[in-house]
Amino acid sequence: MRALDFPIQILARCNTAILRLGRHLSVIALALMVVIMLLQVFFRYALNNALPWPDEAARFCMLWMTGLMAPLALRHGGFVAIDMFQQMLPRLLATILQLTLWLVALIVLIVAAQIGWDHFNAGWLFKSSSMKIPAGLISERPVRMPLAYSYLSLLLSVCLMISVSVELTMRHVRQLLTGHDPLLDNPVSQRAD
């Protein structure tokens, strides 16, 4: 099983580093979203002069926060799952069932990546109604932000979930062949990643 150990370790280290960065960026996106929403509440109710951009900016932060946290939740079993049937099965059958489910999930994610790519490319055709890129960054005057920047969160999220799914599929193969895997045997030990 040494043939599987090396690729799993490399993929696990890459996923851990990328997901750790994603978690930190998600915290920043959440903080920005809260500040933006509070700013809008202040301007709307205290000054009676609502700003045009905070709603869309908060949505942008929410999309990125969700897109960066979904792969981490997938890796640590944070999505809703009905595992009553799996828990009733013997360990070998439960591992085979889990491996099958990961392979199906991988196929669905690959299709989702293709859809996400198309959506991202279509996002260049449409501009944000209220968010603008400040003057001096890409041109001499403010430019309305393409929606592709928002849609990129979906594509990146799905690609990271594919990477996590490949890692977990390989771990289930190793567990099927050897009877154990450190992450699968004790998922709580990896939660600090």
pLDDT at position 3, please? 76
CA 127 remoteness from chain centre: 24
What tokens does 160 get? 């990271």
CB burial of 12-27 (b: ≥16 within 10 Å; e: otherwise) equals beebbebbeebeeebe
pLDDT at position 20, please? 96
Distances (CA, A) of 138 to 17, 44, 53, 131, 162: 31, 31, 19, 14, 33
Tens-place pLDDT, residues 2-41? 777 888 899 999 999 999 999 999 999 999 999 999 999 9
What tokens does 13 get? 């280290």
pLDDT band for position 136 (cuts 50, 70, 90): low
pLDDT at position 189, please? 43
CA 132 remoteness from chain centre: 25
Q: Taking a C-beta distance cutoff of 8 angstroms, is the pair 9, 183 a contact?
A: no
Tens-place pLDDT, residues 82-127? 777 888 888 888 888 888 989 999 999 999 999 999 999 998 888 8
CB burial of 53-82 (b: ≥16 within 10 Å; e: otherwise) equals bbbbbbebbbbbbbbbbbbbebbbeeeeee
Highest mean pLDDT among 1-5, 12-16, 52-56, 169-173: 12-16
pLDDT at position 178, please? 81
pTM of the predicted model as reported, rounded to 2 decimal places: 0.83
pLDDT at position 182, please? 66
The mean pLDDT value for 63-90 works out to 87
